[in-house]
Amino acid sequence: MSIADQALTEDLASRDDMIVCTGVSKWFDDFQALKGVDVTVKDREVMVVLGPSGSGKSTLIRCINRLEVHQEGSIFVDGIELTNDTRNIERIRSEVGMVFQQFNLFPHLSVIDNVTLAPVWVRKKSKVEAEQKAIELLERVGIPEQAQKYPGQLSGGQQQRVAIARSLAMEPKIMLFDEPTSALDPEMIAEVLDVMKDLARGGMTMMVVTHEMGFAREVADRLVFMESGEVVEVGTPEHFFTNPREDRTKLFLSQIL
Amino acid sequence: MSQTSSSSAIHYGTTKPPLWRNVAVLKWCAQLAVLLGVLAVFWFLIAEARTNLAAKSIPVGYDWLDNPANFQLGEGIQTVDTPERSLTMSRALWVGMVNTLRIAALGIIFSTLLGVLVGISRLSKNFVAQRFSSAYVEGLRNIPVLVQIILWLAILGSLGKLTPDTGPIPGWVIVSQKGISLPRVFLADGFYQFAALMLVFVVGIVAVRRQLKRRQDRDGGDLRIGLWTFVLFVISAAIAWLINPIMAFLGPIFGAIEDAWGAVPQGAMQLLLCVIAVVGVITWIRKFLDSKRSPAGLAKLTDDDWFRMIFSVFVGVVAVFVVVRGWPGLSSWIINSGSDFWGVLGDKFGDGRGAKPLDAMRPTLTEGRFVNFGDTGLTLTVFYASIFLGLVFYTSAFIAEVVRGGILAVPSGQSEAAAALGLTRAQALRKVVLPQAFRVIMPPLGNQYLNITKNTSLGIAVGFSEIVQVGQTVYNKNSQTLAVFSIYMIFYLSCSLSISSVVNTINRRLAIVER
Amino acid sequence: MSDVTMTPTSPSNGASNRTSPLQWVRVNLFSSVSNTIQTIVFTAITLGLLRALLGQAFSEEADWTSVSTNLRLLMIYNYPADQIIRIWVSAAVVLLAAGLSLGAWKVEPGYTVGRLGRHLVGLGLFSLVTRLLLPVHAPDTVRTWLIIIGVVSLVAGVVVQRGDPDGDRVMGFGTVLSGVALTFLAVLWLVPFGQYGLVDGVLVAESGTTVASSTKVPWTVLLIIVVASHRVGIILGRALGRSLRAALAAFWVVGPAFVIFVILRDPAFDWAHVWSTDIPIAAMFGLGGAAVLYFVAAPGKTEVARAVGAMLFAFALFNWVAAFFGWYPMLQKVRISFLIFAIVVLLVPAFAGDRSTRRRVAGGWVAAMVVFHWLLTAINTESTLVITAPPFLGGFVLTVGIAYYVMLASFPLGVLLSLARTSKLPIFRVMSTGYIEVIRGVPLITVLFFFSIMLPLFLPKGMGISDLAAVFAGYTVFSAAYMAENVRGGLQSVRRGQYEAADALGLTTVQRTSLIVLPQALRVSIPNLVGQAIAVFKETSLIAIVGGFDLLRIANSTIPNQPDFLGQKRPGLLFISLVYFVFAYSMSKSSQRLEARLKDAQAR
Ligand SMILES: Nc1ncnc2c1ncn2[C@@H]1O[C@H](COP(=O)(O)OP(=O)(O)OP(=O)(O)O)[C@@H](O)[C@H]1O
Ligand SMILES: [Mg+2]
C-alpha cells in the first residue's frame, strides 16, 4: 500500500480520479526538482500542498497544466494523459484553471476584458454571452462594480479575485492555486480565502499550495507534505495537525504553526 | 511502485501521440521548414546571379585582388603606383580601410571629448550654459549627418586658395580650400623594431613591478612603485630608441614562417578545418550533456534535447561538406592570407644602424597641392575635414545625451552624500558621480562608436577615399560587385565585433569593481 | 518647467513669472564666480557661433533666391506643372485624415499660455540679437523683417504673459493648430516669396509672377481643412469612437499608397484588360477566399484549417519555385495573393469564433482583396503623366514618402524578427540573431548600394525592379533589423507571468502573442520606435547617393547646376537643414510627451 492510499477515506475512495500523477520526475538542467511524485486528486476534492520553500510544490502543480514539462512518469487529468499531443494539451488547459501568486492579470485589458478573453478566443463564445457570464462571476467574487477598471487601479485582493473569476470563466473542472494569498497584505487575505472556500463548498476540485494553515484545516479534504521534490506524507487535516507520522512533517509544522 | 486507486479504468502509461500532433515534432518541423525555405531562397538567388554573371562573362572569385588597380586614390597611405610598391586592387582596398579607421578613431576621440563637455554643461546650473548645450544637442542631432557633412564641404570649399604663402603661418600651418596642413611626427623605418624591443622591456618592467608589489605587501611601507615604473619605462624607451636595430633578426624569422605557412598543402588545411568542425560538434554535445548531468546521474532527455543534438551533428556534417567539396578555395585562402600576414610583418624588420622609430616633417606643396603622404606634414584634406567635422559634431550631440542620461541615472543621494562629506561640486562629480555614471554610459556609448565607424561610409558622398568609396571604384572598373560587397561586410563586421568586445570587456571590468 | 531638463539642478524657469527679471538674472547667471565665468564664456561662444552661421548664410556670394525660386522643385521635384492640382488634392486628402486623426485620438499638445509667452519673448530677443549680428552683405529686407518679428513677438509675448500671470492655463489643440495655421497664412500672404515662376519646368524671369502667388490660395484651403477636420474629428470621435479610429488606422496603412499610385501617378487603366483579367482575379480571390475563411473560422475546425493552410502554403511556395524555373506562367499578383491567402488561412483558427466573428473575418478579407488588387493593378499600369526627368516622385514628397513606407513595411518584419529572436526555438533564434547583427553591423549605404546594384543581378529573367523600389527594399531590410531590436526591448519587459497566465487559460501561441504579449510590448517600445522613425526620416538623405532626387540631391546638385544659380550650395543646404530640423525636432518633442503620457498611464 502506498502512502497515498492509506489516507483515503471511504467517501473519497469511491469517487473518480481527477488528477493522477505517477512517478513524476522533473529536472531543471542538472537539478532534479521532482523525484517520482505520486499524487491522486479525487473529484470534488480539495487538496492542499504543504512544504518548505524550494520543495517543488509550484513545480508540481505547474506540471499539471503543462506550464512545466515533466520528463518521467505520467500525469492524467480527468482521464486525459499529458503528453506532447497538442490536442491533449489544449483540452487539459481548458479544463484546468490556475491562479498565481502574482495574479498575472493582463494590465492592458480592463477587468471585464480580462475575464471574457479566454471564453471568446478559446471557447469561441459570443462576446455578449461571455460578458453576461463575466458579470455573473464578478458578482460571485464580490466586485461587479470594478468591471470597467484596469487591473492597475485595483487593490491586490481585488486583483486576485478577478484572477479567480478569469479562471472560472473557462468553466474549469479543476482549479490550481499557487500561493494565492502570499503576495497580499494581511487585511486582504480573508476576502480571497472566502472566495476559495465558497468554491470548495460548491464542489470544485482544487489543488492549493498555501501556507494558510487555517484554510487548510477548515477546507482541505487531504493534505500533501512535500520536501526536496518528494511526497513525504499524505493525510487528512486531522491526521496532519494531531499526530503526523514523519519527523520531517512534524518539524515543518512546528516551525510554521 | 505505487498502485494507485483502482476505482477508475484508466490505462496508466505513456501514450505516444501521432506525429502531426506532437508538439516537439511540430516545432522542429516548422523550424526546419523555415530554415530550408531560407536556404532555398539563397540558393535560387545565387544560382540566378551566377547565370547572370556568366552571361556577362564576369568571373566569380577573388583572383582580381592581385591585379593592378589602375586608378588613383584621393588620399591615404599610398595613393598611386610607386617604384617600391605597386598599387594593386587589394592594396587600394587596404588603403581605404586604413582611411576609414583613421577617421573612425579620430572621430571617436573628439566626439567623446566634445560630447562629455556638452553633456555636463547641459546639467549646469547656469542658464546660458544649459540653454546653449540644449540648443547644440537638439540642433545637431536633428539634422541628418550627411547634410551636415556636405554643408561642411560647401563651407570649407569657400576658404581661400592654396598658394605657397597661404597660412596663418606660411610653411608651418596652412588653412585653405584644399585643406589644413600642420607639421607632424610620423612612424619611421625603425618603429616596429623599436616596438618589439619595447614589448620585451615592458614584460621585464611588469615582472619588476610585481616583485616590488609583493615586497610592499609583505613588508609594508611605500616603495613608490608608480615612480619606479615610470623611470624604468623612460630609461628603456631611451635604450630601445638607440639600439632598436638589434631586433632586425626578427625579419628573417618572420620570413621563414611565411614560407612555412605558404608551403602547407591544401589538403592538410582542409583536414584541419574538418577536425575543428568535428571537435566543435563533439565538444558542444559533451557540454550540453554535462549541463544535464548531476550527481544523481543524467537527466531524462526531452525530445527537444534530442532534436538539438541531431541538429548540431547535421551542422557539423554540413560544415565538413562545405570545407571538402563546396568551397575548397576557403582553405587555400586561409593559407595564402596567413602567409601574407607573416610576410608583411617580416618586411617591417631588418633595418640596420641608424633606423629611427619616429621622424617629423613640415607641410610641403607641389603644384598648388599638398603632398599627401610620405615624409610631409599632417594634412587634413577638405574631404577628410568635412566628414570628420560632420561626424564629430553630429555624434557628440548623441554622446552628450548619453552622458547626461548616465549622470542623471546616479541617484541624487550620492551627490548629496558627497556634499555632506565636504567635497566640492567638481570633486563630487569627478570622484563620486562620474564613476557610477560610467557604468550606465558605457553600453550606449559603445553604440555611438559603432555608429561613427559605420557613418564613415558617408565619405563616399564627398569623395573621401574610405573603404566604400574605394570599393565602388573597384567594382565600377571590374564589375566584381559580389566580392567587393563581401569585403565590405567582413570589414565592417570585424570593426563592429572589435568595438563591441572592447566595450563588453570594459563593462565586465566595471561590474566586477562594483562588487 | 517641463520644457527644460528635469534635473535637480535645473534653474527654475517658472520663477520668471514671480520674481523680477533682475532678481532672476542674479540668481541664474551671476550667483557665484564660476557661474559668472560660465555665463561669460557661453555667451561668447553662442554669439560667436551665431555670427559664424549668419556669415555663412549671408556671405557675399550667397543668393537666397536660389531657394525661394526653387521651392517647388524642393517640394515635388519635376512633377508636371499642368497636373499640379493632383499634388494639392493629395495633400488635402492626407491633411484631412491627419486632422481627423488628431481629433479622433484627442491629441493634446500640453502647451500652456505661460510657455507661449516665454517662447514669444525668446523669439523676439533672438530676432533682435540676430539683427545685430547680421553681416554686411545681408539684404535689407532681412534686417527689416528681423526687427518687425522681434518687436512684434516681444510685445505679443509680454501681453500674453500679462494676460495669464500664473502661466499655467493649458491651450487646446484646436487653438494651437489655428494659431500655427494663422501665422503660416500671414507669412504666406505678407512675404513676397520668389521672383521667378516655373512655367512648364522652365525657369522664367517674369516680374510679378512669384511662386508663392500660385500657392497662396491652395495653402489657405489646406490649412482651413486641417483646422476644420480637427474639429470634425473630435465630434465624430465622440459619436463613432472605435470604428472611426479603426477606419483612420486603415487609411494610414493604405491611404498614402493610394495617394501616391492612384492620385499622383494617375494610372491609365486599360479597361478591357481590367474587366477581362483583373476584376475576375480579384473576385475569385475575394469571394472564394471569403467562403473558405468563413468555413474554417468556425470553432472546432482547428485541425482542418491547419491542414488546408499547410496545403495552400505548399502550393503557394510551389508557384514561386515554378516561377524561378519557368515551368508555368502565372500573374505575379496571383502568386502573391495565394501566398497571402495561405498565411491568413494558417492564422485564422486562432481568431475563429461565432457567426458574427466569421462574418467579420470573411468581410475583412473581401475588403482587403479589393483594395489590394486595385492598388496592384494601379501600380502595374503605365502612368499618364509626361515627366521631363524620369522619377515622378522627388523632393520633400519623396523624403517623406520613403520614410513613411519604410517604417510601415519594416514594422511587421521587425516584429517577426524580434519574436523569432526571443523565441525558445533555437533555429529561429539563431537565424534572426544572425540577420539582425549582420545588418546592424554594416552601414546603411552599403545595404542600399547592394540592393540597387545587386538586386537586378539576383532576379530571374523577366522580373525587373525599379531603382527606387530596390532602394526602398534595401532600406526596409535595413530598418527592420533596428525595428526588431526596439521591439525586443519591449518584449523583454513583458513579464513571464503574462505568458504563463495566457497559457494557463488555453490561448494558442498565436493568440498569446497577438492578444497579450505584443500589445504590451509595443506600448513599451513606442518611444524607441518614434526615435527610429526620426532616424529613418533623417537617413532618407542617403537616397541622394544612390540616385534618388530627394531634398539633399536637389539642394546639393540640381540647384547649383542651374544656369542662374551656378555653385549656389550653401543657401539650399542650410534651408533643407532647417526643414529636416523642424520635422525631426517636432517628432522628438511629441515622442517625449507621449512617453510622459504613457508613464502616467502606467502609474494609473
Ligand atoms: N525555471 C527553473 N529553473 C531552474 N530551477 C528551477 C526553476 N523553477 C524552479 N526551480 C527549482 O526547483 C526547485 C523547486 O521549486 P518550486 O518553485 O517548485 O518550489 P516551491 O516549493 O514552490 O517553493 P516556494 O514555497 O518558495 O514557492 C527549487 O529549488 C527551484 O530553485
Ligand atoms: Mg512556489
* CATH code at position B156: 1.10.3720.10
Q: Which residues of A touch B307 (CB under 8 A)?
A: none
Best CA proximity match to C361, nearest among C369, C352, C350, C370: C352
Chain C interface includes A97 (CB < 8 A): yes
Contact A79 B10 (CB under 8 A): yes
B72 and B100 in a single domain? The answer is: yes
Strands B184-187 vs B358-361: parallel, antiparallel or unpaired: antiparallel
Does B401 fall in a domain? Answer: yes
Q: Kindly identify which residue of chain A lies nearest to residue C507, measuring between CA atoms.
A: A122
Q: Kindly identify which residue of chain C lies nearest to residue A166, measuring between CA atoms.
A: C505
Poorest-pLDDT segment among B138-142, B240-244, B464-468:
B240-244
Amino acid making up residue C184:
F
B366 and B495 in a single domain? The answer is: yes
Per-residue pLDDT band at C214 (split at 50, 70, 90): low
Q: Is the pLDDT of residue C288 over 50?
A: yes
Write down the mean pLDDT value for chain B: 84
| Distance separating alpha carbons of residues B13 and B125, to the nearest angstrom | 74
Ligand 1 binding pocket includes A172 (Cβ within 6 Å): no
| Residue where a domain terminates, one of B32, B54, B76 | B54
The angle subtended at Cα C199 by Cα C196 and Cα C205, nearest 5°, is 30
Give the chains touching C; criterion: ≥3 Cβ pairs < 8 Å. A, B
pLDDT score recorded for residue B3? 40
Contact B130 C425 (CB under 8 A): no
B314 and B281 in a single domain? The answer is: yes
Pick the atom of ligand 1 nearest to A29's CA: 4
B204 and B314 in a single domain? The answer is: yes
Chain B interface includes A30 (CB < 8 A): yes
In the stretch 291-330 of chain B, residues with CB closer than 8 A to chain A read 291-294, 296, 299-303
Q: Does domain C388-604 have CATH number 2.40.50.100?
A: no
Q: Show the beta-strand stretches assigned E in C422-581.
A: none
Poorest-pLDDT segment among A10-14, B53-57, C173-177:
A10-14
Amino acid making up residue B89:
M
Contact A71 B15 (CB under 8 A): no
Tally of CB atoms within 10 A around A6: 12
Residue nearest to atom 5 of ligand 1 (CA): A28
B72 and B149 in a single domain? The answer is: yes
B376 and B506 in a single domain? The answer is: yes
> What's the domain range around B50?
2-54
B143 and B289 in a single domain? The answer is: no
Q: Kindly identify which residue of chain B lies nearest to residue C547, measuring between CA atoms.
A: B461
Ligand 1 binding pocket includes A31 (Cβ within 6 Å): yes
Strands A205-209 vs A46-50: parallel, antiparallel or unpaired: parallel
Does B356 fall in a domain? Answer: no
- Predicted model pTM: 0.87
Pick the atom of ligand 1 nearest to A52's CA: 25
Does B49 fall in a domain? Answer: yes
pLDDT score recorded for residue B5? 41
Where helices occur in C241-301 by DSSP H, the ranges are: 242-258, 271-273, 279-283, 289-296
In the stretch 435-454 of chain C, residues with CB closer than 8 A to chain B read 438, 440-446, 449-450, 453-454
**Residue B339 near residue B262, CB atoms below 8 Å:** yes
Best CA proximity match to C487, nearest among C450, C457, C532: C532
| Distance separating alpha carbons of residues C87 and C84, to the nearest angstrom | 5
Chain B interface includes C533 (CB < 8 A): no
B260 and B406 in a single domain? The answer is: no
Q: Is the pLDDT of residue C92 over 90?
A: yes
How close is the Cα of A36 to the center of ligand 1, in Å?
16
Q: Is the pLDDT of residue B176 over 90?
A: no
| Distance separating alpha carbons of residues C602 and C493, to the nearest angstrom | 13
Chain A interface includes B17 (CB < 8 A): yes
pLDDT score recorded for residue B374? 62
Q: Is the pLDDT of residue C97 over 60?
A: yes
Chain B interface includes A88 (CB < 8 A): yes
pLDDT score recorded for residue B4? 42
Contact B147 C552 (CB under 8 A): yes
How close is the Cα of A53 to the center of ligand 1, in Å?
8
B199 and B338 in a single domain? The answer is: yes
Mean pLDDT of the region B481-490: 90
How close is the Cα of A22 to the center of ligand 2, in Å?
21
SS3 state of residue A178: strand
| Residue where a domain terminates, one of B350, B385, B419 | B350
Distance in Å, alpha carbon of B278 to nearest chain A alpha carbon: 25
DSSP state, C77? T
| Distance separating alpha carbons of residues B156 and C573, to the nearest angstrom | 14
| Distance separating alpha carbons of residues B64 and B343, to the nearest angstrom | 20
Q: Is the pLDDT of residue C331 over 90?
A: no
Contact B147 C542 (CB under 8 A): no
Residue nearest to atom 12 of ligand 1 (CA): A33
Residues C463-486 have pLDDT tens digits of 677 888 899 999 999 999 999 999
Residue with the three cell numbers 506600448: C523
* Model ipTM value: 0.94
Give the chains touching B; criterion: ≥3 Cβ pairs < 8 Å. A, C
pLDDT score recorded for residue C390? 65
**Better-scored residue on pLDDT, A28 or B179:** A28
Does B335 fall in a domain? Answer: yes
**Residue C212 near residue C193, CB atoms below 8 Å:** yes
Q: Is the pLDDT of residue C18 over 70?
A: no
Ligand 1 binding pocket includes A51 (Cβ within 6 Å): yes
Ligand 1 binding pocket includes A58 (Cβ within 6 Å): yes
DSSP state, C5? -
B178 and B218 in a single domain? The answer is: no
B339 and B369 in a single domain? The answer is: no
pLDDT score recorded for residue C265? 83
| Ligand with smallest separation from the Cα of C500 | 1
Poorest-pLDDT segment among C16-20, C36-40, C531-535, C550-554:
C16-20
Poorest-pLDDT segment among B10-19, C262-271, C367-376:
B10-19
B44 and B74 in a single domain? The answer is: no
Per-residue pLDDT band at A187 (split at 50, 70, 90): confident
Element (DSSP H or E) covering residue A32: strand A31-42
**Residue B262 near residue B207, CB atoms below 8 Å:** no
Contact A30 B294 (CB under 8 A): yes
**Residue A103 near residue A160, CB atoms below 8 Å:** yes
Residues B295-312 have pLDDT tens digits of 767 777 777 788 888 888
How close is the Cα of A59 to the center of ligand 1, in Å?
6
Poorest-pLDDT segment among A127-141, B89-103, B419-433:
B419-433
How close is the Cα of B289 to the center of ligand 2, in Å?
28
Write down the mean pLDDT value for chain C: 85
Chain B interface includes C580 (CB < 8 A): yes
**Better-scored residue on pLDDT, C388 or C348:** C348
pLDDT score recorded for residue A176? 96
Residues C290-330 have pLDDT tens digits of 999 999 888 878 888 888 988 998 898 888 888 777 788 87
Per-residue pLDDT band at C16 (split at 50, 70, 90): very low
How close is the Cα of C73 to the center of ligand 1, in Å?
67
Ligand 1 binding pocket includes A210 (Cβ within 6 Å): no
* Mutation site for B-interface testing, chosen from C5, C396, C437, C446 by largest number of B Cβ within 10 Å: C446
Per-residue pLDDT band at A254 (split at 50, 70, 90): confident
**Residue A225 near residue A52, CB atoms below 8 Å:** no
Amino acid making up residue C72:
R
Pick the atom of ligand 1 nearest to A59's CA: 18
Q: Is the pLDDT of residue C541 over 90?
A: yes
Q: Is the pLDDT of residue B10 over 60?
A: no
Does B380 fall in a domain? Answer: yes
**Residue A48 near residue A205, CB atoms below 8 Å:** no
Pick the atom of ligand 1 nearest to A68's CA: 1
DSSP state, B360? E
* Mutation site for C-interface testing, chosen from A64, A102, A106 by largest number of C Cβ within 10 Å: A106
| Residue where a domain terminates, one of B34, B54, B74 | B54
Chain B interface includes C423 (CB < 8 A): no
Best CA proximity match to B177, nearest among B323, B381, B443: B381
Amino acid making up residue B335:
I
Cell of B328: 575548397
Pick the atom of ligand 1 nearest to A56's CA: 18
Q: Is the pLDDT of residue C5 over 50?
A: no
Residues C336-356 have pLDDT tens digits of 899 999 999 988 888 888 888
How many residues are present in chain A?
Answer: 257
How close is the Cα of A61 to the center of ligand 2, in Å?
9
Domain locations in chain C as residue ranges: 1-57+116-164, 267-382, 388-604
pLDDT score recorded for residue C161? 82
pLDDT score recorded for residue C202? 56
**B497: Cα within 13 Å, side-chain hemisphere:** 7
Best CA proximity match to C214, nearest among C90, C88, C80: C88
* Mutation site for B-interface testing, chosen from A30, A66, A74, A77 by largest number of B Cβ within 10 Å: A30
**Residue C67 near residue C571, CB atoms below 8 Å:** yes
Best CA proximity match to A235, nearest among A39, A37, A6: A6
| Distance separating alpha carbons of residues A229 and A70, to the nearest angstrom | 13
SS3 state of residue B10: coil
- The residues that bridge with B88 in the sheet, in sequence order, are B68
Q: Which of A25, A49, A53, A58 to mutate to test the pocket of ligand 1 (most atoms within 8 A of CB)?
A: A58
Q: Is the pLDDT of residue B7 over 80?
A: no
Q: Kindly identify which residue of chain A lies nearest to residue B13, measuring between CA atoms.
A: A74
Mean pLDDT of the region C38-59: 91
Phi-psi category of residue C241: left, alpha or beta, with phi > 0 → left and psi -120 to 50 → alpha: left
Mean pLDDT of the region C535-543: 94
How close is the Cα of C489 to the center of ligand 1, in Å?
27
Per-residue pLDDT band at C198 (split at 50, 70, 90): low
Of B1, B13, B21, the CB nearest to A86: B21
Contact B489 C570 (CB under 8 A): no
Number of separate helices (H) and strands (E) present in chain C: 26, 4
pLDDT score recorded for residue C578? 95
**Residue C554 near residue B157, CB atoms below 8 Å:** no
| Ligand with smallest separation from the Cα of A54 | 1
Residues C128-187 have pLDDT tens digits of 999 999 988 888 888 998 999 999 999 998 888 887 777 677 888 888 888 888 988 888
Residues A40-85 have pLDDT tens digits of 999 999 999 999 999 999 999 999 999 999 988 899 999 999 988 8
Best CA proximity match to A171, nearest among A112, A115, A220: A115
Ligand 1 binding pocket includes A33 (Cβ within 6 Å): yes
Give the chains touching A; criterion: ≥3 Cβ pairs < 8 Å. B, C
Per-residue pLDDT band at A1 (split at 50, 70, 90): very low
**B125: Cα within 13 Å, side-chain hemisphere:** 18
Cell of C306: 491547419
Q: Is the pLDDT of residue B511 over 80?
A: no
Contact A86 B23 (CB under 8 A): yes
Ligand 1 binding pocket includes A180 (Cβ within 6 Å): no
Number of separate domains in chain B: 3
Residue nearest to atom 17 of ligand 1 (CA): A58
